[in-house]
A and B are shown apart, each in its own frame.
Chain A
Amino acid sequence: MRRCAPLLLFLASCGSDQSLEYDLYPIQLARAPIQPGGDAIGGLLAKVNTPAGVQPLLVDTAFPLNSLGRQGCSGSEVSGWTYTGNIDLLDGWNPAAPLRASFDDVGLFDICPGPVGDPSVQPAGVVGGSLLASFSVGLTLPQSPNEPASMTLWPSFPATDDQLDQDGWVALRFNLRGSASVVQGNGETLLTLPNSRAVLAACVAPRAFSTTDPQETCALSEVAVKSSGENLLLALGTGEGPLVLSQSAWVRIANQMGLSPDAGTAGDLYTPFSTTPTPAQFVFLPRLALLQGTTDTAWTGACAELASARRIEWVLANQSNQASPNASQIGG
């Protein structure tokens, strides 16, 4: 016991063996097409140095694991199991391009994700949520395919959520979800993947809103009734180009929008979660509101929250013109 006490104190300050080297400057990213042949405003692609040259590496917050195909990912490889490897992120497609970040001795799966956006875009692996959770990640995602995307890694954010709110930033709070167990093919080896998925509440396709519209009020009991749109829970995935909805979710939204479930353009969806394309309908959603998720059972849902926020915004915008309604008229 006399010998163990100091030893325990030593161990208390020990860390993991992985080494993450990066500076606080942006790392250039590429983007996959949003759909086959579409604009390059889809999934985020870093450039990773591999024995086969510089390959795209998917940066996907929704992917629960980190992977890098040791044999490459041209399509004929056999997936392996886990190994400890290195990820070197470059700023260009040339092996001599500047090295911008180096993750050494990282636990990786020897598997290839599916092509992203277009069958021609085959990533060599994925930097998933479990590794990205080691940092505070800043992503620049221009709407134009002509402007460069970038990723900046910080050890933490420079302020609290409340302070960021006060500065005009939008801080959406969430609990990471999505832990899972992984079993090797023979069923013997089991790994546990940590919670790493950011899940946000969303209101899809609410009706349009303007502070010049007629005032809308509701009683407390009408909060949910007078909302519009469809409540959804969405996982935040930077490796997917379009907003991906399940068929059942889309049917509900189509009903809300008065569209046929077959509306839109039929095509193939390429996501990293599947090595084969998924038949999909590509449609345009007019509006999507993201809200922070909550587990409070009294919460009436994202669309009711949005409707309430709109009523408050309406009052604030018009309070100089007329007397303010009381709280029950706003709807909480």
Chain B
Amino acid sequence: MFLASRALAGPLDDAHVGDTGFSGPTTGDLTAVYWNPAALGLLQGPQIMIGGALQMTSVSVARTSIDPATGASPGTTTFPTASGGANMQPFRWPPGPGGFFAVGAGVGRRFGIALAMYDPYSSKLTMNGAADGQEPTRYHLVSMDLQHIATAIGLAVHVSDSIQFGVTPGLLFPTAHLVFDEDTALSGSPNASGNPGMGVENPASAARYDLASHGIVVPSYFITGGIHYSVGRLSVGIAYTSAPLGTGGAVTVPMDNTQIGLPSGLPAGPGLCAGATTSTCLLGQGQMIYRLPSMYNAGVTWQATKTWSATGIVRWVRNSAQNNITILVVGPTSQNILGSSVPNQVVLYRGFSDSFDLRGRVVYAAKNFRLGGTLRLETSAVPASHVNAAAIDGLKLEPSLAAEVRVWREIRVSAGYAFTWMFPVSTGASVFDPTAASTCAQAGGDLNNPACQARMNGQARPSAAGDYHLWRQTLSVLTTFGF
């Protein structure tokens, strides 16, 4: 039994919320709060679930060379291969990725109700500097840790012996920490140090944006609704989860702890970062605005024999809603750098597409233990030309094994292991065009100009062309108390 891999370093999505290797849209346990609340109607008596996963993700990025004058690929400036990774564990508060807690009960085979806390949208990655000190991915990502803790109440009602309806209204509490660099010389205007012609991706022109939320943020609202139908040996479950309601799917995260490391070429700054007297740091506040996807889950389970069952699951994640991340920053009125030498607004392009997550699962269940094997195939949410260090995604294949043992009369413990391998992605020509910034500036910001459309969308950034690799291991444990 396992809480398998999550979508790290890519779209904001967790492919395995509460997944123990056995759960899905047709499964009547507490994970149904996420998968399909109608299946809560299958609960029999009270139940508690506590789980967590240890997860290790590794990525490598081999950027294509660039022209030092324009930033276009290829060119004479080469980059060392950059590596990055993220280790996640659930022993923290609030429970982050890998954590799942739920309590609920079935009531007289008429109702099912549950309260759950989980993290349906998450992404975490830190890119390492190369041995020679270069940071090839700095203009797209230095590090990120984006999470959305969901607190939801699921309710299911039996319409008949074979049909249940369910709904889960919930709150999403986002937390975020994002670090990246901005090339202040891209527009071609005199750069931070006032000297034109420092070239593209010159570290002396890089401003480092370090933005983090603080405390509990005003939550967004979402709702999941679903239906579960069973006849004979066949069970079918279908559910829909909305994007955040009332905002067109957008989430606004206050970034109360915002620091901007000013370009080294910039004359003395106001020296306000973190109480440290430094001339190259600016302290302020910001906001990060982005959209979350809606989602469809569907599953079919065929109980072939008393002990063997087979399940097929499809998740349709509407990642195309994630078009960009808008960042707005404000600082003290005493400074005049922000908004002039250093941008007070940054748009980071995403341009995701919908993804499909297909799973085939076989489960053997005896009286006191279960064994399961799942093969998961997920299409990429990020077109190859859009891939960058902050959005590494491709076609993924994930085999996993899980086992569950009844260790006590009311207690079952499961453990599992999953290995996720992303087919290597070669971006070809990157959608990120560093020349768009200067072209748009020369066009006076004309939105009819494709370069200005690119700037507006957040594509006027240093190229992300290159080869990307990702693999991940997950080891998880879940304990279920059934009374």
Contacts of A13 in B (CB 8 A): 242-243, 245, 248-249, 294
Chain B CB within 8 A of A256 CB: no
Greatest chain A CB density within 10 A among B256, B294, B330 is at B330
For residues 1 through 52 of chain A, which have their beta carbon under 8 Å from a beta carbon of chain B? Answer: 2, 5-6, 9-10, 12-13, 15, 21-25
Q: State which of B252, B284, B448 has its C-beta within 8 Å of the C-beta of A167.
A: B284
Instruction: Report how far A159 CA is from B328 CA in the complex, Å.
Output: 8
Segment with Cβ contacts to A, from B39-47, B301-309, B416-424, B438-446? B438-446
Chain A CB within 8 A of B286 CB: yes
From residue A225, how far is it (CB to closest CB) to chain B in Å?
35
Contacts of A163 in B (CB 8 A): 256, 285, 330
A9 touches B447 (CB 8 A): no
B245 touches A12 (CB 8 A): yes
Chain B CB within 8 A of A158 CB: yes
Interface residues on A, range: 20 to 34
From residue B328, how far is it (CB to closest CB) to chain A in Å?
4
For residues 312 through 342 of chain B, which have their beta carbon under 8 Å from a beta carbon of chain A? Answer: 326, 328-334
B333 touches A167 (CB 8 A): yes
Interface residues on B, range: 35 or more
Contacts of A282 in B (CB 8 A): none
From residue A3, how far is it (CB to closest CB) to chain B in Å?
11
Instruction: Report how far A100 CA is from B452 CA in the complex, Å.
Output: 10
Instruction: Report how far A155 CA is from B444 CA in the complex, Å.
Output: 22
B245 touches A99 (CB 8 A): no
Q: State which of A12, A15, A102, A164 has its C-beta within 8 Å of the C-beta of B330.
A: A164
Chain B CB within 8 A of A157 CB: yes
Chain B CB within 8 A of A98 CB: yes
Chain B CB within 8 A of A101 CB: yes
* CB closest chain-B residue, reference A168: B333
A156 touches B252 (CB 8 A): yes
From residue B398, how far is it (CB to closest CB) to chain A in Å?
29
Greatest chain A CB density within 10 A among B287, B334, B456 is at B287
Chain A CB within 8 A of B97 CB: no
B287 touches A157 (CB 8 A): yes
Instruction: Report how far A279 CA is from B447 CA in the complex, Å.
Output: 43
Tell me whether A156 and B289 are in contact in the complex, defined as CB-CB below 8 angstroms, given that A9-B225, A91-B444, A91-B445 are known contacts: yes
Chain A CB within 8 A of B254 CB: yes
A99 touches B285 (CB 8 A): no
Instruction: Report how far A22 CA is from B457 CA in the complex, Å.
Output: 10
Instruction: Report how far A157 CA is from B327 CA in the complex, Å.
Output: 10
From residue A52, how far is it (CB to closest CB) to chain B in Å?
20
B445 touches A23 (CB 8 A): yes
Contacts of B310 in A (CB 8 A): none
For residues 100 through 119 of chain A, which have their beta carbon under 8 Å from a beta carbon of chain B? Answer: 100-102
Instruction: Report how far A24 CA is from B448 CA in the complex, Å.
Output: 15
Chain A CB within 8 A of B240 CB: yes
Contacts of A101 in B (CB 8 A): 447
From residue A172, how far is it (CB to closest CB) to chain B in Å?
15
B445 touches A98 (CB 8 A): yes
Instruction: Report how far A117 CA is from B457 CA in the complex, Å.
Output: 38
Chain A CB within 8 A of B33 CB: no
Contacts of A174 in B (CB 8 A): none
Q: State which of A23, A92, A168 has its C-beta within 8 Å of the C-beta of B334.
A: A168
From residue A35, how far is it (CB to closest CB) to chain B in Å?
32
Instruction: Report how far A304 CA is from B370 CA in the complex, Å.
Output: 76
* CB closest chain-A residue, reference B456: A23
Tell me whether A24 and B447 are in contact in the complex, defined as CB-CB below 8 angstroms, given that A154-B345, A155-B289 are known contacts: no
Greatest chain B CB density within 10 A among A101, A102, A155 is at A155
Instruction: Report how far A102 CA is from B448 CA in the complex, Å.
Output: 10
Contacts of B456 in A (CB 8 A): 21-23
B285 touches A158 (CB 8 A): yes
Instruction: Report how far A22 CA is from B447 CA in the complex, Å.
Output: 8
* CB closest chain-A residue, reference B167: A5
Contacts of B330 in A (CB 8 A): 157-159, 163-164, 167, 169
B227 touches A2 (CB 8 A): yes
Greatest chain B CB density within 10 A among A97, A157, A164, A167 is at A167
From residue B36, how far is it (CB to closest CB) to chain A in Å?
13
From residue A269, how far is it (CB to closest CB) to chain B in Å?
34
Contacts of A15 in B (CB 8 A): 248
Tell me whether A23 and B447 are in contact in the complex, defined as CB-CB below 8 angstroms, given that A13-B245, A159-B285 are known contacts: yes
Instruction: Report how far A13 CA is from B329 CA in the complex, Å.
Output: 28
From residue A8, how far is it (CB to closest CB) to chain B in Å?
8
B328 touches A154 (CB 8 A): yes
Greatest chain B CB density within 10 A among A5, A13, A100 is at A13
A98 touches B446 (CB 8 A): yes
Tell me whether A25 and B445 are in contact in the complex, defined as CB-CB below 8 angstroms, given that A2-B227, A9-B240, A157-B328 are known contacts: yes
A6 touches B225 (CB 8 A): yes
Contacts of A169 in B (CB 8 A): 330, 333
Instruction: Report how far A184 CA is from B272 CA in the complex, Å.
Output: 58
Chain A CB within 8 A of B16 CB: no
For residues 237 through 292 of chain B, which have their beta carbon under 8 Å from a beta carbon of chain A? Answer: 240, 242-243, 245, 248-249, 252, 254, 256, 284-287, 289
A167 touches B331 (CB 8 A): yes
Chain B CB within 8 A of A160 CB: yes
Pairs across A and B, CB under 8 Å, 25 listed: A5-B165, A5-B227, A9-B225, A12-B223, A13-B245, A22-B456, A23-B445, A23-B455, A24-B347, A25-B445, A91-B446, A92-B444, A156-B252, A156-B289, A158-B330, A160-B254, A163-B256, A163-B330, A167-B285, A167-B331, A167-B333, A168-B332, A168-B333, A168-B334, A169-B333
- Name 6 extra pairs, CB < 8 A, besides A24-B328, A100-B445, A160-B254: A101-B447, A154-B328, A158-B285, A159-B287, A167-B284, A167-B330
Q: For the complex of A and B, list the 9 residue pairs with the smallest distance between their C-beta atoms, beginning with the closest.
A: A98-B446, A158-B328, A168-B333, A98-B444, A159-B285, A23-B456, A24-B345, A158-B330, A167-B332
